[in-house]
Amino acid sequence: MFLGANNLIFGNAKQLRDNLTHTELILWGYLSGGQLGAKFRRQHPINDYIADFYCHAHKLIVEIDGSIHLEPDVLANDAVRQNFLESKGIKVIRFTNYEVLNQIENVLNTIKENIGLPFRGRGGLAKRIIPCLDVKDGRTVKGVNFVDLRDAGDPVELAWQYSQQGADELVFLDITATHERRKTMVELVKAVARNINIPFTIGGGINEISDADALLNAGADKISINSAAVRNPALIDELANAFGVQFVVVAVDTRHNEGKNIVHLNGGRIPTEKETFDWILEAESRGAGEILLTSMDHDGTKAGFDCSFLKTINNAVHVPVIASGGAGNVQHFVDVFEQANVDAALAASVFHYGEILIPDLKNVLKDKGIEVRISPPAP
């Protein structure tokens, strides 16, 4: 997560990374290599400043404050930044140089405690609206039931627009990556990540830890796996162990077939023998931090979400469920939140072509008593 950090911030971060202070070097000796059970980055650019240490999986910043942070203006600036970060769901814990030098055990125990505590920030219980950027050949596209794809625009431009409109997150899927055995385009992810200030999930062609690590370093906040997880369920365990469950979204494409909901692979092209309900329970048990459930029968039809099945799944699991497939109007979002009580709703074409504007959608949801995050107007 970079939250819109610009090239200057990235350049400064690189310089600082090679010139750590004495106390930063001491703490990095304990944080590096996942020694505390979580992966940290040093000198990580976020928005307009550089965090000393950042754990992506747990959305945790660790800062070491020198004596300058006792100055009133610096203290005030620290408070403003911390409020901003917490509004984005990122927790900040601070230590002094003295604490790192003389009370390192206490410092490490505090970090461990915060790794174990989920932090959602302000508005953590709000329902989320998530545009989906389906990408083919570097362009955002959307069709009916994953066929007859149409060009819906530049993904970088769309991502920026959605971040300005008040989208809560983005999902960026290279929908041809698995089908054509292509790796996700890391450079495109970097471009999108540098232009938005909201969380960002990336999927497509992720088959091993190194794929996920590359995407995380490119700027993704979470990764989404689908076909690869069905073919190799242990991949979920591996990713959850390597990065934390908050990092792992398991996407499931389902179709109704002979009275059963069946998992499909490769963008809904290939049926499996797995029943969707059983597979989702297994995915959760292996370490899925979220479930992105797409009804392929509803996808692209604009006839509404599959609220009944979504409710069944949402009642059965203990992780957030993202509803996908079928959004055609504002009432469909009201229905899926009221009837299925899912945590988030995802759509593509209705957002891409301006059929539903996110600020208008959120105002209707709010009027219906559904809690959502309302963003201030973009400058």
Ordered per-residue pLDDT tens for the chain, 379 residues: 555 556 776 777 677 777 888 999 999 988 887 778 777 888 888 877 888 998 877 788 999 998 888 888 888 888 888 888 887 778 899 999 999 999 998 999 899 888 864 443 333 468 999 999 888 777 777 653 444 445 557 888 888 889 889 999 999 888 765 555 445 578 888 888 888 888 889 988 888 998 888 888 888 889 999 999 999 999 999 999 888 888 899 999 999 888 899 999 877 788 999 999 999 999 999 999 999 999 999 988 899 999 999 999 999 988 899 999 999 999 999 999 999 999 999 999 898 888 999 999 999 999 999 989 886 654 4
Give the model's pLDDT for residue 177.
53
Q: Over the Cα atoms of the chain, what is R_g?
A: 21
> Could you confirm whether 134 is annotated as catalytic?
yes
Give the model's pLDDT for residue 136.
78
Q: Which of 52, 65, 134, 335 is catalytic?
A: 134
Q: Which two tokens stand for residue 186?
A: 């890391």
Give the model's pLDDT for residue 124.
42
Give the model's pLDDT for residue 5.
56
Burial class (CB in 10 A: 0-12, 13-18, 19+), 94: middle
Position 324, amino acid: S
Measured CA to CA, the distance from residue 301 to residue 328 in angstroms comes to 8
- Dihedral through CA 248, CA 250, CA 251, CA 254, nearest 10? -170
Measured CA to CA, the distance from residue 107 to residue 112 in angstroms comes to 9
Q: Which of 65, 174, 221, 253 is catalytic?
A: 253
Give the model's pLDDT for residue 330.
98
Contact 250, 237 (CB under 8 A): no
Give the model's pLDDT for residue 183.
56
* CA proximity to 57, closest of 44, 38, 42: 38
SS3 call for 212: helix
